[in-house]
Chain A
Amino acid sequence: MKRVLTVALVLAFFVLSFAAEKYVYFDENTPYLGAKATGKPGGTLIAPQLGSGPKTVNPIVAQETSSTAVINVFLISLIEMDNYARMYPALAERCEVEVTDDEKMIITLKIRKGIKWSDGAPFTADDFVFSLNDIYCNPDIPNDMANLLEDSQGRLPVAEKVDDYTVKITYQEPYRLAVRYAAGIQILPKHIAEPWVKQGKFKEMWTVDAINKKELVGLGPFIPVEYVPDQFVRMVKNPYYYKKDANGQQLPYLDEYVLKIIPDLNAIRLAFENGEIDVYGVTAQFYPEIKNKAKEKGWIVGTGGPNFGTTFVTLNFNCTDPVKRSWFRNEFFRKAIAYSMDKDAMIDTLLAGLGVAQWGPISAAAAAFYNDDVLRKYPYDLDYARMMLQLGGFSWDKDGNCVDASGNKVEFILMTNAGNTQREGTCNILRDELAKLGIKVVFTPIDFNTLVQKMTATGDWDAIVIGLTGSDEPQGGANVWKLDGALHFWNYSPKVKNFVSADIYEAPDWEVEIDKIFRENVRILDQKKVYQMFSRYQELVSEHLPLIYTIQQNYLYAYVDKLQNLEPTAFGGMLWNIDWIWKK
């Protein structure tokens, strides 16, 4: 219900917006998130961090959640997202977008007055302009954000200071994601970062050593002050944080926020049961047990919708073996595989019933773009699968082996990265089902690095089960879906990877159409049109199945009932509003 509402809201929002050339995203009357919260100050929240600790606290260098989990708490931006990926004002109190007559896009942002960095220095437009121009858009500092900031022609935005509290960002053409990305950069303190940038050593700024040296300065609710390697990161409240609650109480409520690093999933569960941590992202198979203990132990345990991200089977269109290549490029063959996937059984077996089937490239969690109606679905039916094979020119020999039109036995290698139980399980179940169709699959789990090498460096693979992370914004998959994308692994263009020979390369019409969608949508500001474009994309992918999607676990959470104000969702997780969570 909530999801439908969100879509409606987002749509209404944008349809209204671009009717006029100038649109106010939000103004001084829009309250920031948490302005209506109530609670009592004090307390410590301890959250687990699976795996290892932060590698760095420099936002440019950081690439893994263990680092960003810390950085996101002390570095914030002009805008912020709530738990349903809706945009809200944060450090900026007003955001206006204007498309000029010469098709330039100008974003004007007004910054709240009187905000201070955690070291007491004032926060002004200079900090933002410096962060955008000299860090994120600095060609000497290659970073992932730059890729998102570019418009469709690869041009970067330019920020200008109008006065101490007003900045102007200029794009050379309308860019749909401009506000989200350009205003969404994590702002760094100019007075600290500038010398590093000038010396060309910005990437060496703020290694994890900086935490214990108390060098970190931020605008966020908590500032990391202690890091014990592979043990925990301790963050204390920022006395200068800009938010106040409904009663004028300074936020955040919590005194301390601790990330405890625990390398093992079993141990996380036991630590939660033992009261060592306050929140726990429940593993599906443990869910009923944890939920049934909840009342007695004083926990709040629940399920959200499906998670972001996708898991799929991919077949190598440019397989070196011409026979296999012809199967994998055969759409009926791919459809046969889709029909032979018993997703309900997979969900029950691998996710303890707490998951959903995926049919297209956008997870249902990305509510604003997910369109269930356009998706072609392939319910489990081996007879349908056999029919598809027949339509694709396959038949069966007298021993029941599936053979192609030229009489070759259908046999291929299915790989996945070893150690991922869900993917291994998917392969195992699929292997068994395909055996019933007379297709012999050799299943080989292999270490992740070797798998990546095969996919991206040698092209020497048949079929792989792997997953991609996703977000609420489909454009995040541009690298995957553009024909020359660096992750277009099933059908790399010879221009991108030299292991694909130009003689065998083919880009089917529908791939070209998808490519076009990803190139053009960013120039279109009308959200309704974008929605239609991405609907078409979902339709094309589910119809032609370059990737055959599998299943996705639901978001599951548990936390102690002493914690208040939590509103967990798959997008925000449990601690998206850490600044107004409080502890009884």
Chain B
Amino acid sequence: MLKYIGRRLIISLPELLIISLMIFLIMYAAPGDFLDQYRLDPSVSPQRLKAMEEEFGLNKPAIVQYLTWLKNVLKGNLGYSFYYRRPVSTLIWERVAATLILSLISLASSWILGIALGVFTALKKYSIGDKIMTFLAFGFVAIPEFFLGLVLLYFAAKTGWFPISGMKSVYYSSLSTWERFKDILWHLILPATALSLGSFAGLMRYMRGSLLDVLNEDYVVFARAKGMPERVVIFKHAMRNAINPMITFLGFSISGLLGGALFVENVFGWPGMGRLVYQALIQQDMYIVMASGLISAVLLVAGNLVADILLALVDPRVRLS
């Protein structure tokens, strides 16, 4: 097993290099650059544009730009943001906590909800409960996340029960620790709800489907016939085999932990990574895009590795070579 992990880690290095080069090249090939947003502003002088082009190195050939970036990354420096004139690492670091709070909470709740309801609906196949859940699930799948957020926001404004925007209230710094915790929690409820509602439905359907598959297998029938308690049959025998696709999903979820959720962040004014990265994408703030691409690639590789290991541990039939 350790050998396998070692091999995967070694392979991942050239892989990340390829990914970073690819991100860079595609971004470079896309039309426009960071300075475009200023080119149509009558108050920005041409001299200033020229100076900025020089300063940011945007007039250098692509390969030079990429190699400079790579050299810096190897030294542990993710580069400077053109827009903020601050190191990309600080910009990202500022948003890590907020992003993780939101993504972990919604990840946890959607997984718990998804798995639990998936098992429930599989066991009660075609019951009224199953049908209601099916309708609900597809309702949430068919609603864009942004719209779900907007509805929740409207609800919050009409009732006044929840704050509309942000993660902390303006008076946050003058609050006690307990009040701070409450404050953040209060702001967290709506965005986390919007995110979990959007994603639990899928998990529920997958869980239901794969559990239904194994419930018909001979070993489950056999275990039941042996008179094993239903609980043991389901959770010890059936689940271990049904969980296979879910584990691969878990790997993907890990890779998305730091990606942020743009639409929900935008509606609820949550200070997460999604907003930072999206703005950088639109403005072609190159090094933020590169850094975020790299981070999610690293997480993707790591998440997939974790998923593969888990798969080997949980599913008795899977062997890793």
Contacts and interface: CB of A to CB of B under 8 A. Distances in A.
Interface of A: 44, 46, 52, 55-56, 61, 63, 142-144, 146-147, 203-204, 207-209, 226, 228-232, 234, 258, 260-264, 266-268, 270-271, 273-276, 447-450, 452-453, 455-456, 466, 468-469, 476-480, 486-487
Given A230-B275, A452-B36, A143 B284 contact: no
Contacts of B55: 203
B153 A229 contact: no
Contact of A147 (B45, B166, B283): B45
B31 interface: yes
Contact of B154 (A262, A270, A450, A456): A270
A258 B269 contact: no
Contacts of B50: 142
A226 B168 CA distance: 13
A231 B168 contact: yes
Nearest to A268: B165
Nearest to B157: A270
B129 interface: no
Contact of A207 (B49, B52, B85, B282): B85
Contact of A267 (B44, B95, B153, B173): B153
Contacts of A267: 153, 164-165, 267-269
Interface string B169-197: 01011000000000000000000000000
B37 interface: yes
Contacts of A232: 166, 168, 170
Contact of A449 (B32, B84, B269, B275): B32
A229 B271 contact: yes
Contacts of A61: 85
Interface in B263-287: 265-269, 271, 275-276, 279, 282-284
B31 A56 contact: no
A175 B142 CA distance: 62
Nearest to B272: A230
Nearest to A276: B164
B276 A55 contact: no
Nearest to B54: A142
B86 interface: yes
B269 A469 contact: no
B78 to A, nearest CB: 16
A226 B271 contact: no
Interface of B: 30-33, 36-52, 55, 83-86, 90-91, 94-95, 150, 153-154, 156-157, 160, 163-168, 170, 172-173, 265-269, 271, 275-276, 279, 282-284
Given A229-B94, A456-B39, A479 B45 contact: yes
B150 A453 contact: no
Given A267-B269, A276-B164, A486 B46 contact: yes
B45 A448 contact: no
Given A229-B94, A229-B271, A264-B267, A450 B170 contact: no
Which 6 A-B pairs have CB atoms at the shortest separation, nearest pair first? A449-B32, A230-B271, A142-B51, A147-B45, A270-B157, A271-B164
Nearest to A269: B157
Given A230-B95, A476-B42, A274 B157 contact: yes
Nearest to A229: B94
Contact of A260 (B41, B47, B170): B170
A144 B165 contact: no
A232 B171 CA distance: 10
Contacts of A479: 42, 45-46
A147 B47 contact: yes
Given A229-B271, A230-B275, A487-B42, A276 B163 contact: yes
Contacts of A274: 156-157, 160, 163-164
Contacts of A208: 84, 86
Contacts of B31: 449-450, 453
Nearest to B155: A270
Contacts of A226: 173
B286 to A, nearest CB: 13
A266 B36 contact: no
Contacts of B52: 142
A466 B95 contact: no
A52 B279 contact: yes
Given A147-B48, A230-B276, A264-B269, A469 B282 contact: no
A455 B150 CA distance: 35
Contacts of A263: 265-266, 269, 275
Contacts of B45: 142, 144, 146-147, 479, 486
Nearest to B33: A449
B265 to A, nearest CB: 8
A268 to B, nearest CB: 8
Given A232-B170, A264-B266, A270-B154, A63 B164 contact: no
A273 B154 CA distance: 10
A43 to B, nearest CB: 13
B50 to A, nearest CB: 8
Contacts of A476: 42-43
Nearest to A273: B157
Contacts of B47: 142, 146-147
A469 B48 CA distance: 18
A528 to B, nearest CB: 25
Contact of B165 (A52, A271, A453): A271
A226 B283 CA distance: 26
